Amino acid sequence: MNLKKYTKIVLPIILILSFNISTVKASDECFEGVSRSIFKFNLAFDDYVLEPIAKGYSKLPSPIRTGTGNFTSNISTLLSIPNSLLQGNLKQVGHASGSFIVNTTVGILGFLNPAERLGLKPHKEDVGQTLGAYGVGPGCYFVLPILGPTTVRDSVGLIADTFVDPFAQITLRENELLGVSGNKLDYYSLKGANAVDFRSDNLTSFESLEKNSIDLYSSYKSVYLQDRENKIENSNNDNEDWGNLDN
Amino acid sequence: MKKIIIFLISLNFFIFSPLKAYSTNPGDFVSELVNDAISKLSDVNLNKEQKYKFIEKIALENVDINALGLYTLGELRKSTEKTTILKYQKTFEKYFLKSLTSRLSDYSSSKFEVVNEDKKSSNYTIVSSKVIPSKGEPEIKIDWRIYTKNPEKPLIRDLIVEGLSLARTQKEEFASILNSNNNDINTLIEKLEEFLNN
């Protein structure tokens, strides 16, 4: 799809959302019953597929896991570059571009992370965050099969990511960029590796959350929404209402 | 026999003796408290039960569990009868201690370091810290919301792990239960009791 078509489809959606979404709180549910059913399905998927793979993966030697994490993280930096630019954050454009170039070359296709030692620390940015930075509210909350928790804004962002991300352009859309080509399998393999790496890093946290929650669905929702708020603000939100709880 | 009993009582007293007073400066308070907990949790001479008891005691003395319980109730705390609130707080305390000890049961040795403290008001200081796991896993950033209204006795009100507030997560979890049960606090208390009995 060319840029003109993309603009025709995505821009009106963003405009509609920017006028309507800001009145809906992220804690509002789009369709809670359906989301809870999908959440149950996702938990079963996690129990039978993702968690066993992540547990196996976590037993691999540390250099392999670190290398895989670095590799997937380096490729996702490609999505951060245009988004940092769209947010007008030129410092982050520099960090993300520098990190990608250094890690892809000196870091052997991104398996090593020498950029970090040079002080290059790119934030992960996506279209959902860019929309958030523009003031677009999250809209209501729902759960997607396999992909997990999201909001209206972030799900629109998820689709838009595949247009903005150079890696998705090369693989998912099979467009050749600077002589580099790929296919859909490359795209889904990378996303899969990313999911396994993330799940493996959080085995204990997920287990602890499951063990100690009396409503796991709401705990995941809260964690997701807090994480997105922090990522949009590029800081930890510290405006909790504790004010009138004086002993 | 008498000697053995006295020995056991003394041993118990030694292990669970009144906790040492931690510093009143928020950063030092967090540092001393966590390092004390780390040393007890990694002590091979203590069994699980003894470690749990220590953690419970440390939490009862240094975490503002009552305020945390009220915070997690949200606006409902203002419209609920005092007796019901007291019943809720009692159950919440047990729930909090059970989930805390359960979280710490998988403890593996780590290094802890306070990196900054930010005085937000006369009542609150945020202490930033990092945990460096020994197995080469990525470090974890933890911010501690310290309640300092009584400067002689700082209390922990919240832990913000990698930007995620444990108190807020708990509050939103409870809000969901209350919303789907006509804001009936008794249903929430029942759910907490169910958790405690499992």
* Model pLDDT, residue B14: 43
Chain-centre distance of CA B156, in angstroms?
Answer: 7
Give yes or no for B191 touching A (CB within 8 A). Answer: yes
- Per-residue pLDDT at B111: 86
Domain ranges of chain B: 2-197
User: Cβ of B19: how many Cβ atoms within 10 Å?
Assistant: 14
Please, how many CA atoms are within 13 Å of residue B6, restricted to the half-sphere of its CB?
3
Q: Which residue has the higher pLDDT, A7 or B77?
A: B77
Which among A65, A200, A212 is the top mutation candidate for probing chain B, defined by the most B β-carbons within 10 Å of its own β-carbon? Answer: A212
**pLDDT the model gives residue B20:** 66
Chain A residues with CB within 8 Å of chain B CB: 27, 62, 201, 204, 207-208, 211-215, 217-219, 221-223, 226-227, 230, 236-238, 240, 242, 245-247
Asked if the C-beta of B117 comes within 8 angstroms of chain A's C-beta atoms, the answer is no
Whether A223 and B164 lie within 8 Å, measured CB to CB: yes
User: Shortest Cα distance from A139 to chain B (angstroms)?
Assistant: 17
SS3 B119: strand
The CA-CA-CA angle for residues A171, A66, A95, to 5°, reads 65
Give the whole-number percent of chain B exceeding pLDDT 90: 62
Q: CB contacts < 8 Å between A and B, how many? A: 84
* Partner residue opposite A238 with nearest CB, options B102, B126, B135: B126
pLDDT at A158: 96
Is residue A168 within 8 Å of residue A46, measured between CB atoms? no
Tell me which residue of A11, A3, A62, A64 sits closest to A193, measured CA to CA: A64
pTM: 0.84
Mean pLDDT, consecutive 10-residue stretches, chain A (247 aa), reads 53 51 68 96 97 95 92 95 96 96 95 94 95 95 96 96 95 87 93 94 88 93 95 74 67
pLDDT reported for residue A25: 61
Interchain contact, A212 vs B157, CB within 8 Å = no
Structural contact between residues B29 and B45, judged by C-beta atoms closer than 8 angstroms: no
Classify the complex by whether its ipTM is higher than 0.90, answering yes or no: no
Classify each residue of A94-124 as buried b or exposed e, where b means 16 or more C-beta atoms within 10 Å of its C-beta. ebbbbbbebbbeebeebbbbebeeeebebbe
Multiple choice CATH, B2-197, 3.90.1150.10, 3.10.450.710, 3.40.50.2020, 3.30.420.40: 3.10.450.710
pLDDT attached to residue A4: 55
CA distance B84 to A137: 37
Question: pLDDT tens digits for B91-143?
Answer: 999 999 998 887 776 666 678 899 999 999 889 999 999 988 876 677 889 99
Which of A38, A64, A39 has its CA nearest to residue A197? A64
Q: What is the pLDDT of residue B127?
A: 96
Question: Could you tell me the CA-to-CA distances from A199 to A191, A202, A204, B5, B120 in Å, in that order?
Answer: 12, 5, 10, 50, 35
- Residue of chain B with shortest Cα separation from A245: B67
Point out the residue among A215, A222, A246 whose CB comes nearest to the CB of B149.
A246
